[in-house]
Amino acid sequence: MNSQSMTSSGTRWKFVKNLFKRQQRVSIIIDGPNMLRKIGNKQVRLEDIEEAVSELGSINEKFTILNSNASPKLVQAISNSGYNPIIVSSGDLHMKLGLTVLDVAERNRNDILVIGSRDARCTPILVKLKERGFKTAIIGFEPGFSVSLKNNADFALELFGN
């Protein structure tokens, strides 16, 4: 067998394997103020988050929770990226994030619910989802990526990790 046919066969196997992996439905809910920021000299982009999450399956729904300080340009950019921007005008942003996650979980039978946050205040959301039988993932980055979040999620994804 020549090396070209081995490569072709290997490529086909990887494609088939990815087809099965992609069958899992994934929804993403992002804590905008916590995640959409600079880390050192890199700006975290929605595309970075999607690229990491796509390893878990096919992205079904995408939400970004923002506070009332979000600029209209940011809201438009988020919308243009295919995310549903949710603006919290008053109250706790993490409360709205939790309610959105539970709404998505109840409305849409997803295989994996992904929360984009580094904040430990999201830990009870992960615990509640797991109690209800959902697979969970957390995506974040250092510094400040809560150990509690990582330990309570089924999958912990770190952006720009070492």
Tell me whether residue 130 is in a domain: yes
Among 74-78, 83-87, 113-117, 156-160, where is mean pLDDT lowest? 156-160
Tell me whether residue 93 is in a domain: yes
Domain residues for 51?
A: 23-158
69: which DSSP letter? T
- Sign of CA pseudo-dihedral 18, 20, 22, 27: negative
Q: d(Cα 22, Cα 15) in Å, to the nearest integer?
A: 10
Q: What is the CATH classification number for the domain harbouring 115?
A: 3.40.50.1010
* 6 pLDDT above the threshold of 50: no
Number of domains in the chain: 1
